[in-house]
Amino acid sequence: MLGTVRKLAGDDYTGRRVGTPGGRDAAAWLAEQLRELGAEVELVSFPVAGVRELYDTPVLEWSVGGQARRLEHRREFVEHLASAEMPQPHTAPLTADADAADVRGRWVLADAGDWARACSRAEAGGAAGVLMARGTDAEGWMPKMIAGPATRAVPVIGLRTDLHRHLADTLAHTAVQVTGSTPLRQVAVDGLNIHARLPNAAHHTPEAGPGRPRVLLTAHYDGVGDDPGRRLPAAADNASGVAAVLEAARVLSATVTAPLDLAVAFLDAEEAGAWGSAHHARTLPPETAVINLDGAAQLHQAASVEAGGPAHALLATLDQAAWLTAVPLRAGAMASDNRRYAAAGLAAIGIGMGMPGYQTPAETPERVEAATLAAAARLLTATVWLISCPSSA
């Protein structure tokens, strides 16, 4: 499983953003892994709109009394997903308050509070752009996102909270010039889902059979993609989940002899708004039970579990499997692909087992715990086993 994580997080796949060559190559590799299990594999393309693409490294620099300070992207500032595109750095005076009488042509240091209102004031006043305060994760990174709200008419940059405060203090007694760019655009691309129907050890054909339980294991394989010049390996989110699902599929296809229609889907475009699962959910029979794994890298106290749709029986089986495999579970929000299946009326459960370094350059394979991968694979395997052989529960 760690080998799978390292492969998917490697340089070849460039962070696996939907619609990129790296993403497509990752899909091809995963399809091959599933074929080696004897699965019937289908790759299904679907359109994805509104994906944010950072096509160059943004710039943010301020100058006070002729002394310039250039800031580090993703450590000290970050593009805001609602930002208008501004390809080239633009220099303008900074003003402190979006309520200021004249913001025209100036960068605006937005007050703490409602960023959307600050943007509206800046747009109405013809401001050059908006700087808003942003926090970091525990390691000082500003995670990357590629799905968000509608684009505003002004460039918007998130400035680290302490620097925002420093700039406000400086601006109180002296003039500040700001130079910034937001090379961020929206692109329409094609996503690629991988759907695989697995044989079982008794050589049942993968065709549906009356009365057979139908189980679908899912994990998204896409990431937010590398920054220009910087890797974002997406090892935890969600190479780890893919690795655990692939391992569970391998074990189940080799050991389950009871009649069972088992399928695996490796989904694209989750990071862009769960487009892959939305597309896939419409193609499934209504009796399909879906288990989605998003994050299997660092299990602390318990795996987070969210259930949706008619999943009471599936949830009870998962609980039983967790008891058998000594994996603690707790209710936790899992806003992942499982919600698309639940929204389509299917029994769907989402499981999360940790994402260290979430969507930052620090989300590396070295941080994915082998023990967590094993726990996730065991949990999935035991759950499907219990579904296929209810009398063993």
Partner 1 sequence: MTNDVTGGFIGNLDEAFTPPAAGGCCGGPAATPEATATEAAATSCCGSQTTASQTAVAGCCGQAPAPASEQAASGGSAGCCG
Nearer to partner 1 by Cβ, of 181 and 360: the residue is 360
DSSP three-state, residue 60: strand
From candidates 43, 145, 153, 389, binder to partner 1 by CB under 8 A: 145
Among 10, 38, 148, 199, binds partner 1 (CB under 8 A): 148
CB 321, min distance to partner 1, A: 9
Which residue intervals of 136-233 are DSSP H helices? 161-171
360 near 371, Cβ under 8 Å? no
Task: Return the residue of 261, 270, 280, 362 that touches partner 1, per CB under 8 A.
Answer: 270
Pick the stretch among 23-31, 201-209, 257-265, 351-359 that binds partner 1 (CB under 8 A).
351-359
Compute the C-alpha angle 190/191/194, nearest 5°.
140
**Looking only at residues 272 through 301 of this chain, which bind partner 1 when binding is defined by CB under 8 A?**
273-274, 278, 294-295, 298
Site string for partner 1, 125-144 (x = CB under 8 A): -------xxxxxxx--xxx-
Give the CB-side neighbour count of residue 241, counting CA atoms within 13 A: 31
CB atoms within 10 A of CB 153: 14
Residues 62-101 that bind partner 1 (CB under 8 A): 78, 80-82
- CB within 8 A of 131, min separation 6: which ones? 60, 94, 107, 108, 109, 110, 157, 158, 159, 164, 167, 178, 180
Provide the minimum distance between the beta carbon of 389 and partner 1 in the complex, in angstroms, as a whole number.
Answer: 17
Applying CB under 8 A, among 28, 124, 202, 335 the residue interacting with partner 1 is: 335
Alpha-carbon distance of 141 to 135, in angstroms, equals 9
Question: Minimum distance between the CB of residue 80 and partner 1, rounded to whole angstroms?
Answer: 7
- Pick from 124, 201, 202, 331 the residue near partner 1 by CB under 8 A: 331
Considering the rule CB under 8 A, would residue 57 count as an interface residue with partner 1? no
Q: Does the footprint of partner 1 cover residue 164 (CB under 8 A)?
A: yes
Q: Is 307 in the site for partner 1 (CB under 8 A)?
A: yes
Half-sphere exposure of 393 (CA within 13 A, CB side): 18
147 lines the binding site for partner 1 (CB under 8 A): yes
Judged by beta carbon, residue 129 or residue 206, the one nearer partner 1 is 129
* SS3 of residue 46 by DSSP: strand
- Binding region for partner 1 (CB under 8 A) out of 3-11, 53-61, 99-107, 266-274: 266-274
Residue with smaller CB distance to partner 1, 252 or 334: 334
d(CA 83, CA 208): 48
272 sits in the region (left: phi over 0; alpha: psi -120 to 50; else beta) called alpha
